[in-house]
Structure 1
Amino acid sequence: ADVSDRDQVEAAVSRVAAELGAPTVLVNNAGVLRDNLLFKMTSADWDTVMGVHLRGAFLFSQAAQKHMVDRKWGRIVNLSSTSALGNRGQANYAAAKAGLQGFTKTLAIELGPFGVTVNAVAPGFIVTDMTAATAARMKVDFDDFQKHAAAEIPVRRPGRPEDVAHTISFLASEGAGFVSGQVIYVAGGPRD
């Protein structure tokens, strides 16, 4: 589904509910990059990133929360990023990821009384196709890109998708019922 299209989102959530049962866990993980310096960034670059990251999380959360509230149990996990703290060439992405953090905290307040927790995971440098594409765009060998990143990370290695998945798994669990409105940085070291 196009996560920025209300009709497609509502159809997707309805299909999940019909075929698999009421959705009680939602992970807003759809993402795109349209990196560029501010003076080169187009309105389309801005709108695409906002549409996927922020509007998509809003639409899916709005559609899924109905089921969660009815069941008096639910988990929403939004994917933010360390880029929310600012990152050169990513004004759109950083703004969207910072927006997700405020969105997360607000939904935690609104949905908490209904047994729904809402948290965000903010990965740092994770070895993915997206980071490989960033290295390619910068014309940097991906292995060198990873080594450079690792040198800046306190645990001295880049993150792996499973590092993020384990954190999401915890936040989606019964055991995380008293964790809500939090932004957890999965970045191999402290972040502000």
Structure 2
Amino acid sequence: MAITLPTWLTLLRIALVPVLVACFYLPMRGTNFLAAMLFIVIAVTDWLDGWLARRYGLTSSFGAFLDPVADKLTVTVVLFLLVQQNPTAWMAILASIIVGREISITALREWMATIGQRAMIRVAGIGKIKTIVQMVALTLLLYSHDFVGLPIYKIGVGMLIAAAVLTLWSAWVYMRAAWPHMRDRAAEEDSAARAAVVDATAAKKFASGS
């Protein structure tokens, strides 16, 4: 299997995650800045590999699988680091909302793919806005120190709250798009179950009569 340039960039993003974690915990001055810069590199690489894949037709099934894995891995790990750094109820709740949404929507996409309707929950505009706000928030929280008098950490927390709100909103948008298919599928399964019960009852009566 040939690995395309966008897929190599996605693999690079995954490889940078443990490097970011190591930088976060290094007992040195300036490591917060280095961790924030690494996160920016990961975020820019995320945009770049998608742009290259679309612009030059370098899409692949492996790349399509790996890209969301890299995104969710990076965001989840960074949120865990931030909660460990500032173990407050607010940070834990915000991280739970964001991680919970990622898990739920991933599962929803996989289920929709099994019924051939994955395209019905493609990335919406609100999802893209959520991603931008979330990435900026996480960058500020990783940096954490004041800059030219600005309370960077507090701004980051405010943006993470906004990202959590957008997360819930985008999840509702995806669920609304998927709900008709979920409802129809449930109705089909109920109908099939009732038919199976009728068939089993008829077979039992036939066997008794014979």
Same topology, TM > 0.5: no
Q: TM-score range by the shorter chain?
A: 0.3 to 0.5
* Structure index of larger Rg: 2
The two structures have a TM-score, normalised by structure 2, of 0.33
Q: As a proportion of its length, which structure holds more helix?
A: 2
